[in-house]
Amino acid sequence: DAKTTQPPSMDCAEGRAANLPCNHSTISGNEYVYWYRQIHSQGPQYIIHGLKNNETNEMASLIITEDRKSSTLILPHATLRDTAVYYCIVRVAGGSQGNLIFGKGTKLSVKP
Amino acid sequence: SAVISQKPSRDICQRGTSLTIQCQVDSQVTMMFWYRQQPRQSLTLIATANQGSEATYESGFVIDKFPISRPNLTFSTLTVSNMSPEDSSIYLCSVRTGAVGELFFGEGSRLTVL
């Protein structure tokens, strides 16, 4: 699986957009980008995933660059409840293995 | 999605004892995994729990230390054997149900070994 690089921490003002970057310069053509988050003392929560097109759901938007070497997770109106560690993971979808390899992630602190 | 229940949610154990963690899923799933999260660390995959056969362990994890059962498609257990303080971690059960590999996690079992 491709390695990802994320900033260790970020701050965001409540109500503003939080833009979390992820570099995955060695991503392969069949690897998806997944985002998860882990709120303190809880299990990780799936947020969104994408292959090459930008994606949006009720939680967030995912912007993937044209060369697919980086992506940005956007929380359009961050709330205090969005304070968490956000993990960017790339891997092949499907196949016999289902595990995801978690890096250190970005600790997002949303401040009032 | 899937609803995953883990028991116990937390426990404090003595060195040298063993603890079994249970994971119950509200639907049948093929892929089930056990992760460990040591204090202030990210998640590390321990093993894939295979229904009807022995679990597949990741490098650094062995069956004698972390025996796993998977009697059916909705249930699994992880045992942490002969515990030491270094085993103090959160142990997480996860399942893969999505078409493109998204995982869903239980709330974790926080284990403290004295």
| Per-residue confidence band for A106, with pLDDT thresholds at 50, 70 and 90 | very high
Res A97: pLDDT? 55
pLDDT at A98 over 70: no
Quick one: tokens of A33? 């980008």
Cα angle, residue A45 at apex, residues A42 and A57 outer, rounded to 5°: 145
Residue A25 has pLDDT above 70, yes or no: yes
Vertex A95: Cα angle to B24 and A64 (nearest 5): 100
Q: Which residue has the tokens 């970005």?
A: A106
- Note whether B101 contacts A43, CB cutoff 8 Å: no
User: Does residue B7 carry a pLDDT above 80?
Assistant: yes
One-letter-per-residue 3-state SS of B80-107: ECCCCHHHCEEEEEEEECCCCCCEEECC
Q: What pLDDT, in 10s, does the model give residues B87-111?
A: 999 999 999 876 666 889 999 999 9
CB-CB under 8 Å, A42 with B108: yes
Question: Token match 């570099």: residue?
Answer: A23
Residue A67 clears pLDDT 70, i.e. is over it? yes
Q: Which residues of B touch A97 (CB under 8 A)?
A: 48
Chain B residues in contact with A43 (beta carbon < 8 A)? 4, 92, 94, 105-108
Judge whether residue B53 has pLDDT over 90. no
User: Does pLDDT of A95 surpass 70?
Assistant: no
Mean pLDDT, range A13-42, rounded to an integer: 93
